[in-house]
Amino acid sequence: MAKRILSGIQPTSDSFHLGNYLGALKQWVELQEGNDAFYCIVDLHALTGEIDPALLRKRILASAAQLIALGISPEKSTLFVQSHVSEHNQLGWIMECIAGFGEANRMTQFKDKSAKGGADSARVGLFTYPMLQAADILLYQAHYVPVGEDQRQHIELTRDLATRFNTRFGDTFQIPEGYILKSGAKIYDLQEPRNKMSKSSGSAAGVLEILDTPEANAKKIKSATTDAGREVRFDEKDKPGISNLLTIHSALSGKKISELENEFAGQGYGDFKGAVAEVVVEYLRPIRARALELLEDERNLVQILHIGADKARTVASKTVAESYKNLGLVL
């Protein structure tokens, strides 16, 4: 039976990176077939960091263009921007009133991000971020939430909040499940292969961007940090760099890791990195071209997003009404 799918991505950089794609967006594309999928550019979440208005606007549109270029079809899925559907804020507040301060305080992403900028510069919105994320998911009664490994704790919190609400106020929310792959759920920085590939914390040379030129991406792969030894073998503990490149190659080429190990047996790291560069570059080339083409017609992109928001609102407003009613608010 068709399942309800919901996921979101922040428009916080000029380009999505390969970690976003392999950890989440590739599954977004697959799950839109035969399911009822809602995909959201979470611009309100992006306000929890530094705000540059001109840049934010540009990045929201670039996010939409990339999602479509990567294969999200506005006909098959509901593609929309979070701020266009005010129900996110409405249910977000309810979630803040359901969540305990202690449990919010245990969120590791908040701890990491606030530690990085210094506790004084962290915003209240960064602290309440996971409750807004819970609202994003619960509004659509989602069964599955395709995300990377770093979102596991936020999904757990969402499940806890939904269960608590249902128990206390009556069945209102579907309890969602994370849809997290075994392989690809964590893609690592090419320069520091023990850290995740990340737009905020990764090194510029370690992050493969969807909208970067093919030459730039090829160069980054060829200068990726490799490990001691010469064998192309998957071993995350002792060979994190090579293992990461094997994961990337396998996810994009569809070849099994064991097949790749055989294919490159006896060859050096240089040959292997050249092959990975070619797979990545050829995979991304048409996607980049399509995204840049879509960005030339801003009005068309905005129109697609408005149509998506109208569809999203129909579902979201029902959930808000139901939760308000169950809370005893007078409708």
Q: Is 314 exposed, middle or buried (0-12, 13-18, 19+ CB in 10 A)?
A: exposed
Nearer to ligand TYM, 19 or 74 (CB): 19
Residue from 65, 126, 147, 157 touching ligand TYM (CB under 6 A): that is 147
Site string for ligand TYM, 31-60 (x = CB under 6 A): -----------x--x---------------
Nearer to ligand TYM, 264 or 291 (CB): 291
Q: What are phi and psi of 144, to 5 degrees?
A: -125, 145
- List all residues 6 or more positions away from 196 whose beta carbon is below 8 Å from its beta carbon: 19, 150, 186, 187, 188, 189, 202
Task: Cite the DSSP H helix spans in 212-254.
Answer: 214-222, 240-253
**Is 178 among the residues that bind ligand TYM (CB under 6 A)?**
no
Residue 193, token pair as written in the block: 């292969």
d(CA 209, CA 60) in angstroms, rounded, equals: 16
Q: Give the binding-site size for ligand TYM (rule: CB under 6 A).
A: 26
> Which 195-214 residues touch ligand TYM, going by CB under 6 A?
196-198
**Is 20 among the residues that bind ligand TYM (CB under 6 A)?**
yes
**Is 145 among the residues that bind ligand TYM (CB under 6 A)?**
yes
Nearer to ligand TYM, 28 or 264 (CB): 28
Place of tokens 């306000």: 47
**Is 23 among the residues that bind ligand TYM (CB under 6 A)?**
yes
d(CA 107, CA 102) in angstroms, rounded, equals: 9
What Å distances lie between residue 57 and 44, 63, 228, 289, CA to CA?
A: 12, 10, 44, 21
Nearer to ligand TYM, 186 or 273 (CB): 186
The residues that are catalytic are 113, 196, 199
Residues of the shown chain interacting with ligand TYM in the complex, contacts defined by CB under 6 A: 6-10, 19-20, 23-24, 42, 45, 133, 136-137, 145, 147-148, 150-151, 154, 185-187, 196-198
